[in-house]
């Protein structure tokens, strides 16, 4: 499973439609099945969502320098 982020071309720049997607094979072809849709997210929210569903939990530390 992974977080799929599709850029929003119609609205604000820097926003994405995000969903949790499972990859599987059907008749030898790769398919995606949407497990959960998260809706419209900003560029700043995207790394936190990806970290939440990552197998290895990364540390999200941002410096204000």
Find the mean pLDDT for residues 48-62: 77
Confidence of residue 6 (pLDDT cuts 50, 70, 90): very high
How many beta carbons lie within 10 A of that of residue 9, not counting itself? Answer: 7
- What lies within 8 Å, CB to CB, of 4 at 6+ separation is 18, 19, 20, 21, 32
Please provide the DSSP assignment of the chain as one string. -EEEEEE-SSS-TTEEEEEEEEEEEETTEEEEEEEEEEEEEETTTHHHHHHHT-SS---------
33 lies in some domain: yes
Predicted TM-score of the model (pTM):
0.72
pLDDT at 56 over 80: no
| Percent of the chain at pLDDT exceeding 70 | 86
24 lies in some domain: yes
Find the mean pLDDT for residues 27-33: 96
Give me the domain span that covers residue 25: 2-52
Give the count of domains, the chain.
1
41 lies in some domain: yes
pLDDT at 57 over 90: no
What's the length of the chain? 65
């Amino acid at each position: 499973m992974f977080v799929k982020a599709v850029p929003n071309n119609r609205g604000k720049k820097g926003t994405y439609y995000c969903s949790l997607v499972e990859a599987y094979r059907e008749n030898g072809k790769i398919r995606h099945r949407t497990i959960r849709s998260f809706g419209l997210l900003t560029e700043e929210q995207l790394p936190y969502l990806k970290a939440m569903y990552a197998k290895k939990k990364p540390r999200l530390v941002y410096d204000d320098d």
